[in-house]
Structure 1
Amino acid sequence: MDHIIGTDRNQLQFLSLDQMVPEDSWARVIDLFVDILPLEELGFKHARVGKEGRPAYNPSTLLKLYLYGYKHAIRSSRKLAYSCTINVELWWLLHGLRPSFRTIAYFRKENAEAFKSAFRRFVLMLKELELIEGDTVAIDSFKIFAQNNLKNNFNQKKIDRHIEYIDKKVEEYETQLNESDAEDRKELLKKKISEKLSHRKRYEQLSEKLTESGEKQISLIDPDARNLLSSKNISGVGYNIQAAADAKHKLLVHNHIGESTDKRELATAALCVQSLLGLTRFKTLSDAGYTTGDQLYLCKQAGILTYSSPMPSTSPSDNCYPLSRFIYHKEGNYYICPSGAKMTTHAGWSHRPNYRSRVYKTKDCINCALREKCTQNKIGRVIERSEYQDTIDENNNRVIQNHDYYKLRQQIIEHPFGVLKRQWGFTYTLMKGKANVLSEVNILMIVYNLRRCLSVLGMDGFKKRLKDLADSFAKISCELCLLLLMLCAFVPKKRNEKYLWEFANYYTF
C-alpha cells in the first residue's frame, strides 16, 4: 500500500482566490460587514482619497485585517503582516495586498476614536436588527495586564520605603569609609555612595511628580496603568475594563476603562448604555463590588432599576448582633436595638468622600445586659446610616425577592469574558494609554458580537441581514441624492457641480 501523495509542486495550476475560500468562511463575514460601515463618518483616517501625495491603504483593508487577526488571537502587527504572506483567506480578504507591520501598527494607534465609533455603530445596527432588546443589561469588569510591571509602579509608601533603604545603605557605606585605610576600598565606597545618592534623587523626583498629579500611584512605562488586585490576591499593573451586555442574546453593548475598583463605575456604565440605546427605563444586574449608595441613587434618578448584590455585613465582630437586628423607624428617624432601647442621632451630617451620614447611639448601652452580644466598643454600639440608605435597602430587597432573576447575571456577562481572555488570549494589552487600550477592547468586542450573531442567526441568516442593511443604506443614499438634485435648482449654476461631487463622496460607500 502506497502513502498518500500530494500534487507536484512544479505543476502549473489555474485557481481563483474565491475558489479557495469557503462560503462559510469568517473572512467573508468580515468583508460584508466592513463594506457597509461608513468609515469616513466614523472617523477613520485616509477614508477619502487625497489629490496629492502617495496613495494610502484604504482603511477598510486594514480594519478587515484586524478583525480577522483578533478572531484568531493574532494581535501583534508583525504577526499580522506575516499572516498576510501565508494565509490564503487573507489573500482573498485583502485582494492580495501585504501592508508592512508599521502600517498595520500605526492604523491601530491613530484610529482609537474611530474604533470606538465603529463599535457603537455596530451596537445600534444590532438594535435595529432586533438582536438587542435593552430590557436587562448585566454590568461587570475584567482585568488585563499592561505594558508596565510592578517594578515600574510606585505609590508614596513604596517610594518612602526605597528612600529609607537607601539612607541606611549610605549610612553603612559612610561608616565603612571612615574605618577603612585602603585607598582602593575608599574609592569603591565613594562610588557606591554616589550611586545611592543619585537613586535617592530619582525617588525624590518621583515623589514630587506623584504629589503634583494628585493620584495615589504612578506608573513609569504606561502612565495610565494602575496596580490592581485581581482574584486570589494576585497583584499586577493593568487596566480594569468595564463592560455591559444585553440579556437577549448576550451581546456586548458598552465598554470603558474604570478605576482600580468597581465602586464608582455602575452609574457611568448604566447611563452610557441608556444614552446609546435611547432607553427610558431598563434593569441592570451587577455584583456586590458595584453596590454603593451614590451610584444606586444616580441610577434611580435616571429611571434605571438596579439589581446589585447586597454588600456583606460590616458588623464589628462575628459574635455581635448584625445590623438587620436593629429596626429603623423612618417617621421618627431612630433605631430600636435588640434590647428595645431607642438609638437616636443628635449631630448633623458627617461628610464622607462620596456621601453624607448620621451616627445613631444610645446611653442605655452602658448597663445593657446584651452588651457583650452586641458590641465590644467602650462607648457602646454605634450605627452609621448613609443618606442613600433607603435606596440601598430598596435595591437589596429587589435582589432578595428576585434571586433567580439576579442569577442571570453570570450567564449574561461572564461568558464573553471567558471567550475574550481564554480563547482569544486577551489577558494583556499590547498598547499604552487608555485610548489605545480601548482600541483593542473595541476590536475584540466587535469580533465577539459578530461571532454571537453567527451563532444566533446562522451564517446564511446573518449574511442576509447584513445585505438587507447594505441595501437600505444604499436606498437612503439614493433618496438623499435625489433630494440634493431638487435643492440644486435653488443654488447658483456654477456651484451645483461642486455640491454634487462633495455629496457623492460623502455618502457613497
Structure 2
Amino acid sequence: MPRFKTVHRGLKLLPIDFDKQLLPGTFEHALSYLVDHELDLSDFHARYRNSVEGAPAYDPAVLLKIVLLAYSRGIISSRKIAAACRDHVLFMAISGDSQPHFTTLAHFVSAMGELAAKLFAQVLTVCDRQGLIGREMFAIDGVKLPSNASKAKSGTRADFLRQAEKMEKAAQAMIERQRQCDRQPEDDDLRAARKLERLQANARQLRSWLSENPDDRKGAKGRVNLSNRTDNDSAKMATSKGVVQGYTGVATVDEQAQIIVDAQAHGTGSEQALLTPVVAATAAWRTPTTCYTADAGYHSRKALEQLEAAGIAAFIPDNGYRKRDSRYAGQALHTEKPDPLWDKSAKPRTSRRYSPADFHFDPIQQTCTCPAGKQLYGNGSNCLIKGQPAIKFKGALRDCLSCLQRKQCLRTPEKTAARQVTFCLPKAAPDNALTRMRRRIDSPQGREMITRRFATVEPVFGNLRHNKRLDRFSLRGRERVDGQWKLYCVTHNIEKLARCGT
C-alpha cells in the first residue's frame, strides 16, 4: 500500500511574513503600492481630531485597502469584511493585522462622500501616466441596480396623504372601541394596544415625511415622479428582472485598456437625460478626435443637437438600427422564453380578413391590386392622415359585388359594397440631428463603431457584475451610492493597472 506525506488541515500556528504575501503583479500588491506611494489621503486625515485627546483611530489608508480588497473579492457586507480581516491571511497582510469592527468599516464607506471622486481621479491620473488611456473612443453604458430602499414605500404626496388619513382613522376607531369596553386588560386588549401603537407610529412617520418634503419630485418634462420614504433620491426602474427601486450606475470606458474614465450614479431610469452630464464630466480627458459611443437608450434629439453644437463626434444608434442591419436578421431565433411583459415582437393576427399587407401596392406607379387579382382605382390621392401623406384605393363595384372572397375581405359584406384600402406614403426625411445620426449609424463606419462599443464596455460590466458580484447598492442617498459606485470602478481600474501597468 503506498504511503503519502501528512496533509495538515485546520488550525496551525505558523510564522508569516506579511510583506511576502503581496506578490508583484497581483491586485493586492498594486493596491498596497498605490495607497502607500501614489494617493493623497490628506482629506481623510483632516477629518480626525484626536491629536491631543481621544483614542487612536484606524489609519484611513488601512481601511481603504481593506474595503477595496473586499470589493475585488465580491464582498460588500461590512460584517463579512470584518470577518475576513480576522480569518483571511491576505486581508491580514494588506492591513497589517488590523481588525476593525464592522461598524467602523460601514461608517468609513458611508461617510466617504465626495472623497470617493477624488480617489477616483487620482487613480485615473496614475492610469494615464502609465499610458492606459488612448482617448480614441469613449463607450458609455449603464446598469440599473436595486438599493437599500423599500419599493413598497414609493408613491406621490397624494398617495402618502391618503395612507396617513387611513391610518389615523383606523387608530381613532380603535380608541373609540377601547373607550366603550370598560374592563380589565386581557390578551386581546394587549394585542390591540400594540396594533394601535404601530398605527400611530406609522401615521406620525408619514406626517413627518410629508412636512419635510413639501413638494413632489419632478421629472425632466415636469411630470410628477414617485417619491420614496426610505430613500427619496432613488427611483423605480424597469429592468429585465422586473421593477426595482434603486439607481443607475453609468460608466464611461476608454477603448485602449478598458479604463473607466468616469463613473456616476443617478436616481433615474431615463438614460436619455444622463448623456449630457457624462459628456461634460469627461471633457478634461477627451481630445478633438475623441468620439463617443452609447446604446440606443441614450439616443435623443436634444442630446444629439448638443453634441453637434459642441463639435463632438458620436455614434449613438436609434431603437430601429437592428432592423436595418442585416447582421441582426436572425436574432429572434436565439430568444429564449420571452417575457410577455417585455416582448415587443409582432403578435400573430387572429383575424382572417385581408389587411392592407395582403394588397400589392406599387409606390412608383401608384397602383394597387387586391388578393383576387383585381385592379383598384385611386380614390383621393394627395390626402393627409395624421400629418402623413397617403393614397386611398377603392375596388370597382363590378369586381367586388361578384367576388367570391368578400367574407375574407370585408368586415360586413352584407352592408359594404366595395373594399377601401389606404397606404401611407413615405415622408421626405428632414435634415436634422436624428436623420444625420441615422445615416452615420447605417454607414460601414457606424456599424464598426457599434461592434467596438460592445467589445469595450460590456466586458467591464461583466467584470463588475459577475466577478465582483455587484448586484445591489448597500447605501442610501445619491451621494453615498455614487461614492460606492466609484469605489467599485476604482477597483476595476486598479486591476487594469496590476495587469497592464509597469
Q: 1:78 to 1:397 in 2, by over 3 A?
A: same
| Residue number in structure 1 paired with 2:215 | 212
CA distance in 1, matches of 2:265, 2:59: 29
Partner of 2:342: none
Tell me the CA shift for residue 142 of structure 1. Answer: 0.1
Name the counterpart of 2:274: 265
Partner residue, 1:117:
118
2:136 maps to 135
Distance 2:427 2:161 in 1: 37
Deviations 1:69-93 (A, max 9, x none): 1111122222222211222122221
Give the equivalent residue in structure 1 for 2:453.
409
- Name the counterpart of 2:332: none
Q: Is residue 284 of structure 1 aligned with residue 326 of structure 2? A: no
> Would you say the 8 A contact 1:153–1:218 is kept in 2?
yes
Change (3 A) 1:291 1:448: same
**1:58 deviation in Å?**
2.2
Is it true that 1:70 corresponds to 2:112 in the alignment?
no
Judging changes above 3 Å, is the alpha-carbon distance between structure 1 residues 300 and 80 closer, same or farther for their aligned structure 2 residues?
A: same
Question: 1:426: how far off?
Answer: 1.0
The range that moved more, 199-208 or 91-100, is 199-208
Question: Does the CA contact (< 8 Å) of 1:282 and 1:305 recur in 2?
Answer: yes
Equivalent residue, structure 1, for 2:374: none
CA shift, 1:223, in A, is 1.9
Cα displacement (A) at 1:294: 0.5
* Contact 2:301 2:434 (C-alpha < 8 Å) held by counterparts: yes
Query: CA 1:128–1:105 in 2, change beyond 3 Å: closer, same or farther?
Result: same
CA distance in 2, matches of 1:49, 1:161: 47
SS in 2 for 1:254: strand
Whether 2:229 is the aligned partner of 1:229: answer: no
CA distance in 1, matches of 2:440, 2:64: 44
CA contact (8 A) 1:290 1:308 kept: yes
Percent identity of the aligned residues? 16
Question: Is this contact kept in 1: 2:123–2:494, CA < 8 A?
Answer: no
Query: Displacement, 1:373?
Result: 3.7
> Which residue of the partner structure matches residue 44 of structure 2?
44
Partners of 2:108 and 2:480 lie apart in 1 by: 11
2:129 pairs with 1:87: no
Contact kept in structure 2, 1:153 and 1:220, CA below 8 Å: yes
SS in 2 for 1:112: coil
Distance of 2:105 and 2:112 partners within structure 1: 11
Q: Deviations 1:441-481 (Å, cap 9, x if unpaired)? A: 111111111223334x2xxxx3xx3xxxxxxxxxxxxxxxx
Hey, what's the Cα distance between the residues in 1 that align with 2:181 and 2:428?
67
Counterparts of 1:153-302 in structure 2, within 5 Å, are 153-155=154-156, 212-215=215-218, 216-231=225-240, 234-258=242-266, 259-275=268-284, 277-302=285-310
Query: Counterpart in 2 of 1:393?
Result: 435
Say which of 354, 373, 387 aligns to 1:361: 387
Q: Report the counterpart of residue 316 of structure 2 in structure 1.
A: 308
Partners of 2:117 and 2:237 in 1: CA distance: 24
Q: Is the 8 A contact 1:285 1:308 kept in 2?
A: yes
1:409-448 per-residue CA deviation (whole Å, 9 max, x = no partner) reads 2211111112111221211111111111122211111111
Moved more, 21-30 or 109-118: 21-30
Query: Residue 422 of structure 1 aligns with which residue?
Result: 466
Please state whether the residue corresponding to 1:253 is helix, strand or coil. Answer: strand
Aligned Cα root-mean-square deviation (Å): 4.4
- Maintained 8 Å contact 2:151/2:236: yes
Higher relative contact order (CA 8 A, sep 6+): 2
Is contact 1:210–1:217 with CA below 8 Å preserved after alignment?
Answer: no
Distance 1:193 1:278, change over 3 A: closer
Alignment length, in residue pairs?
Answer: 402
Query: Is the alpha carbon distance of 1:382 and 1:400 closer, same or farther for their aligned partners in structure 2, counting shifts above 3 Å?
Result: closer
Task: Note closer, same or farther for the CA distance 1:45–1:222 as it changes in structure 2 (3 Å cut).
Answer: farther
Counterpart AA for 2:249: I
Which structure has greater helix proportion?
1
The worse-fitting range, judged by mean Cα deviation, of 284-293 and 301-310 is 301-310
Tell me which amino acid in the other structure corresponds to 2:28: A
Contact between 2:140 and 2:253, CA under 8 Å: does it hold in 1? yes
Q: Distance in 1 between matches of 2:38 and 2:287?
A: 24
Residue 91 of structure 1: SS of its match in structure 2? Answer: helix
- Contact 1:39/1:60 (8 A) holds in 2: no
**Aligned match of 2:490:** 446
Determine if contact 2:30/2:497 at 8 Å carries over to the other structure: no
3-state SS, counterpart of residue 250 of structure 2: strand
Specify whether residues 197 and 80 from structure 1 end up closer, same or farther in structure 2 by C-alpha distance, changes over 3 A only. closer
SS in 2 for 1:425: coil
The residue aligned with 1:60 is 61
Work out the CA distance in 2 between the residues paired with 1:109 and 1:306: 36
